[in-house]
A and B are shown apart, each in its own frame.
Chain A
Amino acid sequence: MNELFGSSRLARGLVSSSAWLCYIFLVVPSLIVIPISFGNPGQIEFPPRQFTLELYRQFFTDPAWWGSTVQSLIVACLTTLATLVLAVPAAYALARSRLPGRGGLQGLFMMPMLVPVIVLGLGLYLQYSNWGLLDTTAGLVLAHVMLTTPYIMVSVMSGLQHSDVALETVASIMGASRLRIFFRVVLPQLKASIAVGALFAFLMSLDEVVVAYFLTGTDSMTLPVKMYSSIRWELTPVLAAVSTLLTVLSLLIALGIIAMQGKTEASS
């Protein structure tokens, strides 16, 4: 079965035992929060010696936790919507046009992925403190739109590569307007890739902490910022409940993305 490292039993044993060590190291941190979250509300305890939902009660009733969660969900939803509205038409235009500055624009849209977030965080902090946008939901959403644009771009551009240009040509010959072509011919073909990009953007915005840490204050604090300061200063067991909920949500989104990606590949 194994040609890559030959048939030596010793080699195989070494490889698979160090591989398993890594699998455990990679998986345990994402899963250990679950049992802790149902355990002792007084201190972080593993293995838990009791079963209680107390930590979840504390999470949902404490305005500092629940409020920042609602704020994060609002920011993530607004970010996803705004990025879709801006980036999907732009991706379409980039893919179909033969503009001279095409490569440059594409580079501009991909750039947020390549710049260290701390640099963007500082730049936006300097800019927003001049413009009075610090600690506002609008300011944070704008920053997140910039950060999530490359991911929606990548997803939609790859969807466009699979879509059929001939259909657009046909619609155009039959007299459909460009707007109608975009909404009736192009968008329906891109449904799955747009959904993948949207889910990714939502998750990115929901988990984003560095830029949010620079831009938010007490009024607009998001969940990751609250978690960050809580891990840093108090390390309360409520974190286990928050982490469990967040992990479950992330995994659901990941499953959604994987399912949708399967769809885009099947339809091409």
Chain B
Amino acid sequence: MLLLAPLTAVMLLILIYPLGLTLWTSLYNGRFSFDAYAELASSTLFLRVLRNTFEIAVGGTLVSLLFGYPVALHLAAQPPRKRTAYLIMVMLPFWTSILVKSFALVAVFGNQGLINQFLGFVSGGTVNLPMMFNRVGVILGMINFLLPFMILSILGSLLSLDRRLILAAETMGAGPLRIFWKITLPLSMPGVLAGVLINITLSIGMYITPALLGGRQDMMVANLVDFYTRQTLDWTAASATAMVLLILSGLLVAMLGKVRGAAGLAGAGA
């Protein structure tokens, strides 16, 4: 009891109080009202940012699924020792600071970056792909961050799959494509679903990646919170926007909790 009191007090003071204060600020501006929310609902800026957020989160998640699935398949097919070696590569970005990754992505994909230097060299200076400070840049940064979560989630499902099923199907004459469609893919769906939910949850609250790798048009909800707080000094709008984000991510977390234990959500706030 005595051991729990100090931490509980800190959490109430530094976690619950500020969340309550945010809710209060969004509702109380001289008097109680939902005006701030009504204003958001009719603000073209807010609606555009909300649409961006969905587009980027869903787009990033789909790309991450598209590339993550083959990686999970590749990993699942390795003998354990080799798999560990490959997993180190998958986990490397997980341990690297998001700022280091953002800086490096600019160095690789930027206008004077590695890839454009190469393209310029082979094309004699005529080709330059704008891949940074626009939607492509945000998605690249996003999937670099999201892929490890997607891969590990799918890998979990693939490794628990009973391989005798596949052996049996092969013996009975099923081709590789058929085996994939009828056995591997359906049985890995729990991992896919959890991976998709984790990715969307992680990406809707993203702040650093759109700010550093996106353009002016790629503002996401988290950036809008910052914009209201620092640029327009409208704390009421900032709080209401933050509450919308909190509710959205709460819904996603609840869905994920249904799919698998909440423990699988490590780092969801990032």
A contact set with B: CB distance below 8 Å: 1-8, 11, 14-16, 18-19, 21-23, 25-30, 32-33, 36, 44, 46, 86-87, 89-90, 92-94, 97, 99, 105, 108-120, 122-127, 142-143, 145-147, 149, 151, 154, 203, 207, 209-210, 214, 224, 227-228, 231-232, 235, 239-240, 243, 246-247, 250-251, 253-254
Contact = CB atoms under 8 A, between A and B. Distances in A.
A239 to B, nearest CB: 5
Contact of A6 (B143, B170, B270): B170
Contacts of A146: 10-11, 14-15
Interface residues of B, number: 97
A250 B17 CA distance: 32
Nearest to B68: A22
Interface string B228-270: 0100000100110011011001100100000000110111111
Interface in B1-54: 1, 3-4, 6-8, 10-12, 14-19, 21-22, 25
Contact of B97 (A117, A210, A224): A224
Contacts of B56: none
Nearest to A32: B104
A225 to B, nearest CB: 9
A27 B18 contact: no
Nearest to B270: A117
A172 B217 CA distance: 65
Chain A at the B interface: SS class: helix
Given A11-B176, A90-B3, A232-B211, A26 B147 contact: yes
B249 A115 contact: yes
B3 A126 contact: no
B200 interface: no
A149 B103 contact: no
18 contacts: A2-B77, A3-B166, A6-B170, A18-B70, A22-B68, A26-B148, A28-B104, A29-B144, A89-B7, A92-B3, A116-B222, A117-B205, A119-B205, A122-B22, A124-B14, A209-B98, A231-B102, A231-B103
A212 B177 CA distance: 50
A126 B25 contact: yes
A268 to B, nearest CB: 18
A177 B216 CA distance: 63
Contacts of A115: 15, 19, 246, 249, 269
Contacts of B11: 108-109, 111, 146, 149
Nearest to A200: B266
B246 to A, nearest CB: 5
B113 to A, nearest CB: 8
A143 B8 contact: no
A115 to B, nearest CB: 6
B71 A19 contact: yes
Contacts of B208: 209-210, 228
B3 A235 contact: no
